Amino acid sequence: MNDSYDIERAKKLVTIGKTIRLISLLVEVLIIVLYHLEILTSQIAMLLSLALVPWIKHIFALIYPEVASWDEDEHWKTDESKKLWEETHIRIWERWHMLVQVLVMLYLLLTLKIEAQTSQGFKTIAIITVAAFIIMVLIGCIRIKGENKVSQVIHYGMTMLAVIGVTVVTVCYCLSGPEIHEECTYVSGSYEGGNRNHLIPDYYVTVQLKDFTRYKCNVTPRLYDNIRNKNLVVCRRNGPLGIEYLHVHEL
């Protein structure tokens, strides 16, 4: 990137890329706020947006790999070259940005952990995730260039694993049919964790379904409290490719 035309072009792309990244993050945070204010009422739309919006910046980075940096390595030797490098590159995982994005993903994961519990088809989700991951790593190997390619591809791969995992789980859940509610009977409640290694305990409730089978389900702490006095239902959704989602909530 010695040519002044290349440098100017890279600087413009960096401005566009950083703007896309900032807008994406603001949109993600806004979606969560609107959902909690009940202005955005569709949970499916909220989940799908949170899973898909981060892809915009990742796709931008793959289209313009010459200005994207996936790793944390220092790519300069002098202060002069550091300044030029920073003007002509975007760190995909810049610290403040990474923090907000990880918090948004955590929010999405905690919601999915309760809502998108699979009673059938977990293997299907795992196979789709692995297949999509292999495809995206191949694309990354072709697109990402430069002397530190190996380090870049490793960091890109770790990012993709997390992003693809969350996206596949979310999209499969969002493609599922409407909720079907069935009666169930409370059998027992339990919790796991709640110690130093496990800051937030996982709360479970075991219920008996209409066909007399028992189902152990992860529930929110709010539902777990005083659960014996609550009217519980099993909430079933039929997903694509034989995936079935089952969770327990209040009537």
Residue ranges binding Zn ion (CB under 5 A): 179, 235
CB of 241 to Zn ion, least distance (A): 21
Of 72 and 179, CB closest to Zn ion:
179
Cα separation, 204 vs 248, in Å, equals 10
CB of 179 to Zn ion, least distance (A): 4
Of 70 and 245, CB closest to Zn ion:
245
Cα separation, 236 vs 251, in Å, equals 13
CB of 34 to Zn ion, least distance (A): 21
- Assign 3-state DSSP to the chain and report helix, strand, coil percentages, each to 5: 60, 20, 25
CB of 183 to Zn ion, least distance (A): 13
CB-CB contact of 220 with 228 (8 Å): no
Cβ count near 233 (within 10 Å): 17
Cα separation, 145 vs 125, in Å, equals 31
190: number of CA atoms within 13 Å, CB side? 9
CB of 237 to Zn ion, least distance (A): 8
Of 27 and 180, CB closest to Zn ion:
180
